[in-house]
Amino acid sequence: MEYMEGMTITRDARPGVPRKKVGILGGTFNPPHSGHIDMAERVEREFALDEVYLMPCGNPPHKTDNLAPKEMRLAMTRLCVSQSRSVRILDIEVKRKGYSYTADTMCGLKEKNPDTDYYFIIGADTVFELCSWHEFEKLLASTRFICVRRQSHDLIKLTAEIARLKWEYGAQIFLSEYTGLFVSSSYIRKRVSDGRSIEGLVPKSVEEYIIANGLYRKP
């Protein structure tokens, strides 16, 4: 089931009721690709999550080159998720007016679902950027994180930064054993812009959507 407008996963927080573990992989998904789905599914299994969602942002406060309209990014993410048996979509940021701030989203979800533990899935580079995020202290206090790294990342520096965030802000950041696929949205956009194939990098339905709507082509 997808999260549709007006729907929540609210349950009463009662003693003895097992806490639900929900993973959320947020991003612009410009476009979503096979690596996103693989990451979500691997993390779901590794951390025994009950549910995992892709959450496209609506209007990111930072500038993003060649950003497709949020409705199109949501549509592509729906197509991408349709290839998975377990990954779902959380569309609240796309439907929100104004800028999308992760702190607002995660705190809002926690308030509506007090018996759910949320795990926000991030890449290793993001760990070093968390303190620049909007109301990051509130975010670190309300949300657990799962960090996915690439083999090229410096593990010593990464673990040191995770320890610092835990010491200074009480952050809970769990390091995944999964090291990801070597594919990125920027690489896909570059290939489309150069007129090259993206077969195998995104689901066929996403590839067809990009072509049909003329996304990421050179002006």
pLDDT in tens, the chain (219 residues): 333 333 333 344 455 668 899 999 999 999 999 999 999 999 999 999 999 999 999 888 776 678 999 999 999 999 999 989 899 999 999 998 888 889 999 999 999 999 999 999 999 999 999 999 999 999 998 899 999 988 778 899 999 999 999 999 999 999 999 987 888 999 999 999 999 999 999 999 999 999 999 999 987
For residue 10, give the DSSP letter.
Answer: -
Q: Does the predicted TM-score (pTM) go above 0.85? A: yes
User: Using an 8 Å Cβ cutoff, are 193 and 217 in contact?
Assistant: yes
Bridge-based pairing state of the strands 144-148 and 172-175:
parallel
What is the set of domains in the chain, with CATH numbers?
Answer: 20-213 (3.40.50.620)
Q: Say how far apart CA 72 and CA 74 lie, in whole Å.
A: 5
